[in-house]
Amino acid sequence: MGWLMVVAVFGAFFLVVVLPAALITVARSRTRNHRLAAFASSMGFSYCRALPGDVHPLVVSGNRVYQSAAAESFLRQFGGCPFFDCGSYRGVANVIHGRRWNRDWLIFDYHHWTESRHSGSEPQHATCVAARTGQNLGRLSIEPRLPLLGPLMALVEPYDLVELGDPEFDAKFLVRSADPRDAPALLQPPVRQYLLSLWHSPAGWYRVAYVQDNTLVIVESSFASVKHIGKMMEIARCFLDAVAAQG
């Protein structure tokens, strides 16, 4: 009788809580996929829900595990970018690409599992907007200093932290650079002023930008809506326009 009660309780919990939550998640995912496809079509871009060959089994490359050989090959184009060089079970979905504003664009969802000996692993999701440029911009990242965590964030890998001598900018952004010369060369006043304008905008600045050779990647640490993807494209376009204006 006791076992029947336990089974009944767990069955009720599944039917009342777990199953509805799962159905809602699936419905939201399908709705977002349809909106992404419509967005790509409106821009004249191509859309692919999954990478070709993504049904292949997990692939081990070095000490990392990828969702498939297709995912490993896709992410190889960002080789060295710190955002794509951490975690395991890395995968890609909802890939959109095309050409607009005289630049090639690549938009996709990225996911991986964190690796921690202390807190265990957990899934991480992000939407990435990548814009290609015709020049080598170096390798660096730009992220906002969070109000309470800014000092702690600055302690992480301090060897590559670069300050530009601009008090307002340095107080609001953390810049890390593979080569200390890359950040001052790229983040001259026009670019810094644009980033500060984002900081002061009503929506604020909560994304991370990665510059990787001839590619600028804007990352939002969640599955971004179509509206947010459009904003990320606008940010990347204005950023690169500001860089071009520097000559």
201: confidence class by pLDDT, cuts 50, 70, 90 = confident
Indicate the residue type of 30. Answer: R
Angle between helices 19-43 and 226-245 (to 10 degrees): 40
Number of domains observed in the structure of the chain: 2
Looking at the structure, do residues 106 and 157 belong to the same domain, yes or no?
no
19: confidence class by pLDDT, cuts 50, 70, 90 = very low
What is the spatial distance between Cα 109 and Cα 101, in angstroms, rounded to a whole number? 22
Looking at the structure, do residues 172 and 73 belong to the same domain, yes or no?
no
What is the spatial distance between Cα 169 and Cα 241, in angstroms, rounded to a whole number? 19
Find the mean pLDDT for residues 113-127: 71
Residue that finishes a domain, picked among 84, 109, 132: 132
13: confidence class by pLDDT, cuts 50, 70, 90 = very low
Domain that holds residue 74: 2-132
Task: Name residues whose C-beta falls within 8 Å of residue 15's C-beta, 6 or more positions apart in sequence.
Answer: none
CA atoms within a 13 Å half-sphere pointing along the CA-CB vector of 165: 5
Residue 15 pLDDT greater than 60, yes or no? no
Q: What is the pLDDT of residues 155-193, one digit of tens each?
A: 555 447 888 999 999 999 999 988 888 999 999 999 999
Q: What share of the chain has pLDDT > 90, as a percent? A: 40
Q: What is the pLDDT of residues 32-62, one digit of tens each?
A: 889 999 999 999 999 999 888 766 667 777 6
What is the spatial distance between Cα 189 and Cα 224, in angstroms, rounded to a whole number? 29
Residue that finishes a domain, picked among 87, 114, 132: 132
